[in-house]
Structure formats: C-alpha cells, structure tokens
Amino acid sequence: MLVGRGALPFNDLRNTLRKPLKRYKNAPVTLGDKIRNRRIELQLTLDQLATLLNVTKEAVVYWEYKRGKPKVHNYPKLIEVLGFLPFEIDTSTLGGKIIAYRYTKGLSRKKFSHLLGVDESTLRAWENNKYIPVAHIMQILGNLFKESK
C-alpha cells in the first residue's frame, strides 16, 4: 500500500489546478470592473496594483468587488496607473470640468471649495450645473483648467 504524496493517481491535481481568474468584462460599466480589467491588461496581481497605488490589497479587492470606492485622494494615482479617467464625467459642461479637475488633483469638494474661497454647497451647485460662478471665479477656474492640460 502506498502512503503519503502520490498514493492515489489524482492526489497531485490540487497542486496543479488553479482557481480561474475573474473574467475580463468586455463592456465595463462600474469603476470596479474598469479597475479589474486594467489590472488584468497590465498583468498585475492584486498585491502589485495595491503597491502601485499605495493602498492595501484589501482596498483593491473592495473596489473591484464594488464593496467600496476609492477616496478622492487616491484618484490621481489611480488615474495615472489606469492610464485614463475611469469616471463617467461630461467634461463638455463647466460642472464636469470642475469635477474632472478635482479628481485628477485628488481634491475633495471641501478642500477645493476652501481653495476657491467659496462654500462647499456653492461648489456642489456649480458641479451640478445649477449656477454659474461669478467672473473672477470663472477666470480662476479657467486658469486652473489651462494649467492642468
């Protein structure tokens, strides 16, 4: 009677079979799907992507499985690693341009409104295209948008 490793012909199967990778989505809709697709394209493990983004592996898992979203301060590095802006933002509007700028700079609405010297609710209204900023703020925003290109 054979005892130990190799005792049965199928005993080594568990050492050679691997869990299949979560599949690549042909038309990713969610941020998590876009992150997973890009990770697969770059042939990165969860650990490797987490290291590149300076976050934990668990954070990446949460994002990919739609259990949470990255914090806005993670957005610049995420955008850099992914190579594109993974958010659905209409940048043809002023509100969309403001949001895209904030995201690429990793600025929360609170921080950006403070930098502009306006109330957070005012910034939110601009982002929702409900109001147009006064002339001197429009000039500041225009300069910021030019600098970021």
Whether residues 63 and 103 share a domain: the answer is: no
Question: DSSP states of 30-66 as a string?
Answer: SHHHHHHHHHHHTT--HHHHHHHHTS-HHHHHHHHTT
Whether residues 73 and 103 share a domain: the answer is: no
Whether residues 76 and 103 share a domain: the answer is: no
The predicted structure's pLDDT at residue 26: 82
| CATH number for 76 | 1.10.260.40
Best CA proximity match to 132, nearest among 97, 85, 87, 89: 97
Q: Does residue 13 lie within any of the structural domains?
A: no
- Counting the structural domains of the chain, the total is 2
Name the residue with tokens 């992507």: 49
- How confident is residue 145, by pLDDT bands cut at 50, 70 and 90? very high
Q: What is the pLDDT of residues 88-118, one digit of tens each?
A: 999 999 999 999 999 999 999 999 999 999 9
Residue type, 144: L
Q: Does residue 69 lie within any of the structural domains?
A: yes
Q: Does residue 19 lie within any of the structural domains?
A: no
Domain carrying residue 127? 94-147
The predicted structure's pLDDT at residue 8: 54
CA atoms within 13 A on the CB side of 119: 3
